Amino acid sequence: MKKISFLFAAMMLAALGSGVLPVTTGTAYADEAADKAELAKKMVVRKEMGKPLTEIQELLDKKQFAEATEKINALDSMENKTPYEVFALSRMRAVVASGTNNTPLLATSFDKMINSEFLKDNEKLRLIEGLAGTYYNEKNYAEAIVWAKRYIEKSNANAQMNNLLARCYYLKGDFQNAIAQLKTMLADDEKAQRITTEENLRLLASSYQQLKDNAGYTAVLERVVQHYPTREYWGDLIYRVEHKPGFSDRLRLDLYRLLLATNNMDDAAQYVEMAELALLAGLPAEAKTAVDAGYAANLLGTGKEAPKHKQLKDRVYKQAAEDIKSLDAGETAAKNAKTGTGLVNIGYNYVINHQAEKGIALMEQGIAKGGLKSVDEARLHLGMAYLQSGNRDKAAEIFKSLQAADGTADLGRLWLYVRKEEAK
């Protein structure tokens, strides 16, 4: 948060002026603007008040706050003060409060000034903002909330006041209200077609965490990776999707695909398992990709497991070379099968072997043929195929259509957030 302090409050007072108008004899102070004439009639300082107010101003200029306070209290005890005299005394008290770091006095003085008719609306807002910030910096979050809400009720255009209010709720431990405030801010961002700041998304995510609301936290984390993707955010999000109730272990290879695309493979065992799973799925080209990535990361081919890694690499390379030669035969067998499973699988194999157009056509034929164990899983892979082909719009259309609660819909949604360069 941008710091707002007594210094800021003092600056605002200086901008408003802390002196008083010249002494009048009960007649109206002549304002040059015709539209202010009515207000000018009320801006009256009586003769008996003029000299004492001037003396107080001199004391304030010299920062002699104790002496100024004594004289202000004496004048305040006088009866029949005009509204403008009350305003002038409140403004002088505010100067004393600002100079002596007396927040309660500053609050009561500002309150009287704000409730008067002698400040413009924008001037009143500046005082409210200054006091909200002062309370925030003093960690008096309850009072900061009061003044921030007071500001927002008058004008909702100040992003800093909305931010301050959300942070006050959070720091006060009122996470429900912090969430409500932040969600309102997010809705305003969407309406304005503005990207929410990473700081606000992190604060919202943390609020959900404090309430142990995993669903809420994960939903916010998805928004974070959309706009502020990092390896750490992706790793957290994929972990939560994997451990979501009902997630099918059948999709473990798909998890590894996302981990690899977002640079979240942390150890050799993961590369090895991904390669083995790809081989079991009949995708040696993808197994080769996993092995190559593991070697590039210096996680495979080193340490005591290096010989095993070499054996895996040799096996994967051999099967990948043989697979390319047998693709056409596999296609023929898949077309003659009773179900479309083989067409979906061989089609995806063509895609990862850089024949996307042909592979996608076969996958679509397989889905149309039917007999699949999981239509959504097949469509997930079809969406991934379109993504790899560069057709993100078609991929997004497919991913958004997934409905299964076994993890396919979640994984499809995550692929929507993967950057183009990562998805290749």
Residues 100 and 195 grouped into a single domain: no
Instruction: Tell me how many degrees the CA angle 15-59-49 measures, rounded to the nearest 5.
Output: 85
- What's the mean pLDDT in 218-234? 95
DSSP string, 63-104: T-HHHHHHHHHHHHTSSS--HHHHHHHHHHHHHHHHHHT-HH
Residues 316 and 381 grouped into a single domain: yes
- Give the end-to-end CA distance of the chain in Å, rounded to a whole number: 39
Residues 410 and 331 grouped into a single domain: yes
Residue 235 forms part of a structural domain: yes
Report how far residue 337's alpha carbon sits from residue 319's, in angstroms, rounded to the nearest whole number: 23
Residue 155 vs residues 25, 129, 227, 389: alpha-carbon distances, Å: 39, 11, 28, 49
Residue 202 forms part of a structural domain: yes
Residues 139 and 218 grouped into a single domain: no
- The two tokens of residue 346 are 């061989």
Residue 261 forms part of a structural domain: yes
Q: What is the pLDDT of residues 293-321, one digit of tens each?
A: 999 999 999 999 999 999 999 999 999 99
Number of domains, the chain: 3
Q: What is the pLDDT of residues 248-277, one digit of tens each?
A: 999 999 999 999 999 999 999 999 999 999
Last residue of a domain, one of 170, 191, 211: 170
Residue 173: CB atoms within 10 A of its CB come to 10
Please name the helix (run of DSSP H) or strand (run of DSSP E) that holds residue 211, with its range, or none. none
pLDDT of residue 424: 47
Residues 102 and 47 grouped into a single domain: yes
pLDDT of residue 38: 64
Residues 218 and 282 grouped into a single domain: no
pLDDT of residue 420: 58
The rounded mean pLDDT for the chain is 89
Report how far residue 257's alpha carbon sits from residue 271's, in angstroms, rounded to the nearest whole number: 10
Residue range(s) defining the domain that contains residue 186: 173-228
- The two tokens of residue 330 are 């596999």
Residues 245 and 387 grouped into a single domain: yes
- Of the pLDDT bands very low, low, confident and very high (cuts 50, 70, 90), residue 419 is confident
Judge whether residue 191 has pLDDT over 50. Answer: yes
Residue 397 and residue 385 in contact, taking contact as beta carbons nearer than 8 Å: no
Last residue of a domain, one of 125, 141, 170: 170
- What's the mean pLDDT in 388-394? 95
Residues 264 and 119 grouped into a single domain: no
Residue 1 forms part of a structural domain: no
Report how far residue 146's alpha carbon sits from residue 103's, in angstroms, rounded to the nearest whole number: 14
Residues 59 and 160 grouped into a single domain: yes
Last residue of a domain, one of 228, 250, 272: 228
DSSP string, 139-197: T-HHHHHHHHHHHHHH----HHHHHHHHHHHHHHT-HHHHHHHHHHHHHHHHHTT-PPP
Report how far residue 255's alpha carbon sits from residue 263's, in angstroms, rounded to the nearest whole number: 12
Alpha-helical (H) ranges within 3-82 are 6-16, 37-40, 47-61, 65-76
Q: What is the pLDDT of residues 73-82, one digit of tens each?
A: 999 898 888 8
pLDDT of residue 48: 84
Instruction: Tell me how many degrees the CA angle 111-114-120 measures, rounded to the nearest 5.
Output: 165
Report how far residue 260's alpha carbon sits from residue 252's, in angstroms, rounded to the nearest whole number: 12
Residue 114 forms part of a structural domain: yes
Judge whether residue 102 has pLDDT over 70. Answer: yes
Residues 242 and 189 grouped into a single domain: no
What's CA 289's distance to the chain center, in Å? Answer: 35
Judge whether residue 22 has pLDDT over 80. Answer: no
| Greatest mean pLDDT range, 37-41, 70-74, 121-125, 177-181 | 177-181
Residues 11 and 155 grouped into a single domain: yes
Report how far residue 274's alpha carbon sits from residue 252's, in angstroms, rounded to the nearest whole number: 8
For the question of whether the overall pTM of this predicted structure is more than 0.85, the answer is no
* Bigger pLDDT: 52 vs 15: 52
DSSP string, 362-374: HHHHHHHH---S-
Residues 144 and 37 grouped into a single domain: yes
